[in-house]
Structure 1
């Protein structure tokens, strides 16, 4: 079963830094991510989603391949590529992989402009090692589907980093 975790960072760049760190941990088999999206809100109030998979481009590429193959069979590969790319792009745009886009936009509508919300769909993780790696980045837990004890461990780990960042500023 996957768990949803949403953490708000002071900037989009900080959220991107944490996402890249998690991708590194995924290569070390410490975490398995189903999706990792960064949401920001512009000054105008529009929510932008920075997703790792562009389903429209992926669909167009797959459609082009299959269109070329079918076009070769019917001796008209150019039309096959064009029709395949168009239908693949449409199918890709209509496909929603991972976390629901509407849910992310609704949750991010209340973000302060400039902040970045990192949406994670975690399939599996070695929690103690992952938390140790990301606790230095701080952040505020906005929402999770974790049980209360695991959520509190996450909040405490991120809270320690926030407290350490504020301590030198107070001195």
Structure 2
């Protein structure tokens, strides 16, 4: 299971010790740590990134950090979401990740000035392994499973826009006056433009997710090479789960893209 983790600590030293826990569990094959960042909320309320390892698969953790920072009012340190447009985009991305409002509310409530947190994306079978050791470092873990919210949202938007384009084209076909013709033509053009943009968005997400999945599989392969015999089977299962997840998500996105292309060809 792929989870987003927010581990809260009283200070920087505890957070770094917490990160060492995640890295140790990754090294032992108990979890797979895909990406992470250590973030402190300063006395002025602005989150500061102290350390991160997010490339090449850290867009999700980056969006989580940037979106959270956007809700707080800015992010300093390494420039994630530093520009106003970046903050706005990150706030939108964080909802697109499929995270619940409750999870976001908890992050905003818990990360008060002076506290430090580790943001991470991990694959794990037993959550207690991380929870117990993080608690021993003085931390507390909140987690949210990654779901299909983004893919479902893209598909629903394209289906809706496809219906809108078809309805406006039908209205154009039965126009009554020249004035109505012009208005309907403009409406059709606007709807087709929205559908085109949604199709481009779907295609972009397909490429992004393929790249992300490929990088994660590479990481799992590397982890497998040094894994003890007793942990190899769990890593192999994570690889199977990732490939299954990839197939399902890409199928939804490809279906949505096909819907859009079908409408645009009509």
Q: TM-score with structure 1 length normalisation?
A: 0.51
Taking the aligned partners of 1:96 and 1:19, their CA distance within structure 2 comes to: 16
Residues 21-67 of structure 1: per-residue CA shift (max 9 Å, x gap):
21011111011112221111222222112343375xxxxxxxxxxxx
Structure with higher RCO (Cα < 8 A, 6+ apart) = 1
Indicate the RMSD between aligned Cα atoms, in angstroms: 3.0
Which runs of 5 or more structure 1 residues have no equivalent in the other structure?
56-91, 148-171
Mapped pair 1:114 → 2:114? yes
Residues 104-161 of structure 1: per-residue CA shift (max 9 Å, x gap):
42466653322102212112244343334333123234x42149xxxxxxxxxxxxxx
Give the deviation of 1:9 after TM superposition.
1.0
State whether residues 38 and 52 of structure 2, in contact with CA within 8 Å, keep that contact through their aligned partners in structure 1.
Answer: no
Mapped pair 1:21 → 2:38? no
Give 1 or 2: higher strand fraction: 1
Taking the aligned partners of 2:118 and 2:71, their CA distance within structure 1 comes to: 11
Structure number with bigger Rg = 2
Residues 59-117 of structure 1: per-residue CA shift (max 9 Å, x gap):
xxxxxxxxxxxxxxxxxxxxxxxxxxxxxxxxx9xx95341132242466653322102
Matched residue pairs, number? Answer: 108
**Pair 1:96–1:25, CA change in 2 (3 A):** closer
State whether residues 42 and 113 of structure 1, in contact with CA within 8 Å, keep that contact through their aligned partners in structure 2.
Answer: yes
State whether residues 21 and 130 of structure 2, in contact with CA within 8 Å, keep that contact through their aligned partners in structure 1.
Answer: no
State whether residues 4 and 121 of structure 2, in contact with CA within 8 Å, keep that contact through their aligned partners in structure 1.
Answer: yes
Mapped pair 1:103 → 2:67? yes
**Pair 1:134–1:140, CA change in 2 (3 A):** closer
Aligned position for 2:31:
31
